[in-house]
Each structure stands twice: as structure tokens, then as C-alpha cells.
Amino acid sequence: MLSSRSTVTVRYAETDMMGVAYHGSFLPWFEIGRTALLKENGLPYRELEAAGYFLPVLEMSARYLRPARYDDTLEIITRLHQKPAARIRLDYAISRGDELLATGHTVHAFIDRTGRPTRPPANFSDKMQALFSAAAGAPRGRQG
């Protein structure tokens, strides 16, 4: 498993008149986590796009447990449990301190410039293989 931690501060524009984060604000926070996980593991999304690969969302879910509020500092934990093939699924948890606010996941397909489904580029697959092999050999508790 690969994981990443990111932080965001809830901006006023992401809230309603009561200072509660709009439910749609969680989706860009998922994206922050997703792009951070790829970048931290040497696979920046910008490079995938430059090589002609894109990751449109096929599926998304979110479960809202507690409200986020204006000026809260949130932690986004993003996890990739399985080495991706033609699709990639990422799981998210958003917390304020020790309080879990939301969980969710997204599923993405690899497509080429013409919009056709494709396998990820060889360098992406090779890097994922190395990362998952290293994670499998790491002592428990060091995988994020």
C-alpha cells in the first residue's frame, strides 16, 4: 500500500453562510491528495499528461461524517491499496485533528490523447511495481 498526507485550510469560499464546508469542496481536497500521492512517489500527474496519458474519474463516492468549518486545518490521507493496471482506485480520509470528517474513493481509467482506454505507460507501471515491492518488504507501520 502507498499513502500520502496533505493538509488544507478550509477557505471562506468553500463554506456556506454558517461557515460549514460545502459538500462539493471535498472533491478538490480528494484531488489534492491524489496528485500529492503520485508526485511524492515520483509520478507527477503533469508528466503523465505530457506523455499523453489522462486519468478521468469513472467513479466517486464520499461519506460525510462531521462538518468541516471555515479556517479548519484538515489532513487528507490518500491510500493506494493495489497496484494499478488499466484503472486506479484511491481511498481518502479527511480529518480535523483526531476527528474523522469524511471518507471516500475515486476510480480513474487511463486514457490516451484520443480518449481511448489504455494501459499506463511503462515507466509508470515499472515505478508502481518497484514501490509496491518495496512496500511489501517494509516492516509493518512504515507504509503510511
How many whole angstroms separate alpha carbon 72 and alpha carbon 68? 7
Q: For residue 54, with 0-12 CB atoms within 10 Å meaning exposed, 13-18 middle and 19 or more buried, which class applies?
A: middle
pLDDT of residue 111: 97
Domain 2-135 has CATH 3.10.129.10: yes
pLDDT along the chain (144 residues), means of 10: 97 95 96 97 94 96 98 98 94 98 98 96 94 80 46
16 is catalytic: yes
**Which pTM does this prediction carry?**
0.91
Q: For residue 103, which of 30, 45, 40, 53 has the smallest C-alpha distance? A: 30
- Phi, psi at residue 74, to the nearest 5°? -110, 145
Q: Which three cell numbers stand for residue 15?
A: 463554506
- Looking at 16, 98, 112, 126, which residue is catalytic? 16
How many whole angstroms separate alpha carbon 93 and alpha carbon 102? 6
